[in-house]
Chain A
Amino acid sequence: MRGGRLTLERALAREILYQGYTASRQSGFGPTNPVRSVSRANTMKYALGSMWLIVIVGYSFALRFERAAPLGMMLIYFGWGGLLIVSNLLPASYAVQGSSYMRDALYLLPIDEGELERMFARAFMSLIDYPLVALLAGSALASAIVGAPYPFLGVVFGIEVAIIAIEATIFAFSSASKSQAKSYAMRALSALLPLIFLIFLISPAYFAGIDASRYAPLEFLPLASGAFICSPIGAASTAIWAALLGYYAYTRLPSAALRILHASSPTAIAKRVRGGWRIIRSRTLAILRADIQMSARSVMASMLVVPFVLFVVFMVTTYNAPPGVLEAMSAYYGIEIAYFTIFIPYSLYAIEVRGAAAMRTLPVTRVSMALPKVLLLLVVYYAFEGTFSAAMALRGVGPAYIAPLLAGVLAPASSIPAAGIMFERTLREGGSLSTLQAVLNFTLISLLVGVPYGIYYAVLHATGSELLGIASMVSAGAAEFSALMYSLSRYGRAPAAGSAARAPVSGKRF
């Protein structure tokens, strides 16, 4: 979609991107920049496609070296294929819940419904044109490297299943669009879609070892049949399943894409509410209540299942693991869970972008906006790490490995003021950042969160003292958190004409 003549299909693809990715980011601050927003989505498509191409080819060397089992290879490449397609199409599918602008504009043109359906399907597919090429070419190359067709077959099944899943999501969004509550629930559920594919990539060493040869009935199942491609039944079964899934995905696409044309915002249902006004005297608690209410209705709600998924994956993948490996995996999963919690401030700030102007007209400071998020993160962090610590204890991991995880809360907490500063910056730029800036932001937050953990391991390695390691980690986390909170409070502060400090305000009648 770069350069060239602007056809109606290209314009539709841009509009789908704009509706899906950016329509919900209007902030009321500066003017939003649709050209930049659409360009960012396109850049992401090319960047992710190129990244995947490199990763899936590179991965084949490791699998060849490890002598991965056929089904293991298929599962991993199924994960890579499906994840890329879902990552590209899922945000665009939110356009189903967008506005009716496209319908209003297109129905005024002399185009029949059939032609519109075909145009929408082509526009929708153009969102994954480059990722498809990258996946198919990369997996073909990977198959050549491992000397077997499994990576290619895994990717093909991954693409087909991902497209069918997205189509199902669009139909579900479309049917839920009359109720805002159902729409919120659907969004939360749909956010779990990438997890179906991601699960095969969380612990590749485990999946690579899965050997299907002992379970011959698997050759009749989709995906698994690919592992038996050398047998006549396996080859036939694979061909039939691939063709069936491909045909189903292809034939459903036009009607799924057309649902976007009939997009409509959920309608208001006037309903009386009982009870009086629940006014909270503490501003922090009032904002915390609103944050919880909003996050429960966002895609973030689905993130709450992630630690439990990791719990199950940990229990399965550490089955029969030798003690040294078990401890190493505990640390890996524990820190991974901590990293998941940094999505909380990021998501909450993202939710607040749209209503940010309303919040800024209230007498709240940036710090008082950040504090409720700190509270929420504390609760979620200990719920997550508590569950995981129980899993570790059940597997016999000692307290020396559990304690650092429970003491490390300040590391992810630092992501809150950091996200707050980035949020301020985003608003100044009209509620939309460049791709490079978004990637840099997230990299920076990840590095900030990693610093206290890094210090813990460095001190532990240097001194051999667990206690000293934990103390250093907590101190580093506290210093980082305080410094960032201070920066947030001072961010973008221009000298005031008078002194705002001498303004004791009652807020009552003047």
Chain B
Amino acid sequence: MPVLRVSNLRVRYGNKVAVDGISFQVQPGEVYGLLGPNGAGKTSTIKAVVNLVDYEGEVDLMGMGRPRGELLNHVGAVLETPALLEALTVKEFLELVASVRGVDGRRIEALVQAFGLSEHLGSYIATLSQGNKQRVAIVSALMHRPRLLVLDEPFNALDVKSARILKEVIQNHRREGGAVLFSTHVMEIAERICDRIGILNEGRLVMEGTTRSIIEQARAGSLEEAFLRAIHAEEEVREIAEAL
């Protein structure tokens, strides 16, 4: 049974359709990457998966329905712009999350040290850099060992060391049978981490498969080339480059 099953998902903001009827599944022990240009619908898909926006269609977690209420104890989410309670200090925020999730102090301590947050425990979240906010969000998403990790552009503001640690965490999570849904626009990261990739363009899933199968489907030499073909941007990029 898939950890996550998304069927015919549609997300709208007023008249604008951000996600237009996409379907995909994430299996146990699998890292599924959502790739797409800006505005393709990656973030809206992720927000729908964690029930943050209204949507049509179906999002099913382990056959138990949409992730909400107690089911959210199976999910750990890091959003593109970490939305945290900014009037709290890092320690107060992590204590709140740990209390609500029923996690003990040793687990938080280990994660805080791994992601280099010990120095910032007394700082108000509002004063943190984007990278440090991202690390707080990652620690709060990992502390309860969720079955499904949902990560929206998680490497964006991270330094090299934290990015490496997160990659290791993702690999360990996969090895232990967990599932990961994550979005990125960095091809190298997708190529190295993902077992399967879904390419989104204008709200639609235009291609899906393993890195190799996508390259083969697009008859391309690399994932980047396949991606540009999938979103019909290859010609445009060439013309712009020549014009410049």
| A interface, CB within 8 angstroms of B | 26-31, 180-181, 184, 265-273, 276-283, 285-287, 289-290, 293-294, 297-298, 351-352, 354-365, 428, 430, 492, 494, 496-500, 502-510
**When the two chains form the complex, which single residue of B54, B66, B88, B99 contacts A294, counting CB atoms closer than 8 Å?**
B88
For the complex with contacts A269-B127, A354-B83, A496-B65, 11 further pairs of A-B residues with Cβ separation under 8 Å are: A265-B126, A273-B91, A277-B94, A279-B98, A361-B76, A363-B70, A363-B71, A499-B64, A499-B65, A500-B66, A503-B65
Render B106-120 as a binary contact track against A, CB cut-off 8 A, 1 for contact: 001100000000111
Determine, out of B140-148, B188-196, B217-225, B230-238, the stretch whose residues face the partner at the interface: B140-148
For the complex, give the distance between the alpha carbons of A298 and B120 in Å. 21
The size of the chain B interface, using a CB distance under 8 A, is 72
For the complex, give the distance between the alpha carbons of A278 and B109 in Å. 12
Instruction: Please name all residues of chain B whose beta carbon is closer than 8 Å to the beta carbon of A503 when the two chains form the complex.
Output: 64-65, 69-71
A358 touches B82 (CB 8 A): yes
Q: List 17 A-B contacts (CB under 8 A).
A: A27-B83, A29-B53, A30-B53, A31-B13, A184-B87, A268-B129, A269-B127, A270-B123, A277-B95, A294-B85, A358-B97, A361-B50, A361-B52, A361-B75, A505-B73, A509-B145, A509-B176
For the complex, give the distance between the alpha carbons of A323 and B116 in Å. 67
For the complex, give the distance between the alpha carbons of A430 and B44 in Å. 13
| B interface, CB within 8 angstroms of A | 13, 47, 50-54, 58-60, 63-66, 68-77, 79, 81-89, 91-105, 108-109, 118-124, 126-129, 132, 137, 140-141, 144-145, 147, 176-178
CB distance from B184 to the nearest CB of A (A): 19
CB distance from B176 to the nearest CB of A (A): 8
B85 touches A281 (CB 8 A): no
CB distance from B112 to the nearest CB of A (A): 9
> How would you classify the secondary structure of chain A's contact residues: helix, strand, loop or mixed?
loop
CB-CB under 8 A for A293 and B88, given A30-B53, A270-B120, A503-B70: yes
CB distance from B57 to the nearest CB of A (A): 9
Instruction: Please name all residues of chain A whose beta carbon is closer than 8 Å to the beta carbon of B177 when the two chains form the complex.
Output: 510
Instruction: Please name all residues of chain A whose beta carbon is closer than 8 Å to the beta carbon of B123 when the two chains form the complex.
Output: 180, 268-271
Instruction: Please name all residues of chain A whose beta carbon is closer than 8 Å to the beta carbon of B87 when the two chains form the complex.
Output: 184, 293-294, 297-298, 351
**When the two chains form the complex, which single residue of B66, B102, B121, B126 contacts A507, counting CB atoms closer than 8 Å?**
B102
For the complex, give the distance between the alpha carbons of A378 and B99 in Å. 23
For the complex, give the distance between the alpha carbons of A280 and B76 in Å. 20
A355 touches B84 (CB 8 A): yes
CB distance from A13 to the nearest CB of B (A): 25
CB-CB under 8 A for A26 and B83, given A277-B95, A505-B70, A510-B147: yes
For the complex, give the distance between the alpha carbons of A362 and B51 in Å. 11
Instruction: Please name all residues of chain B whose beta carbon is closer than 8 Å to the beta carbon of A357 when the two chains form the complex.
Output: 47, 52, 79, 83
A365 touches B69 (CB 8 A): yes
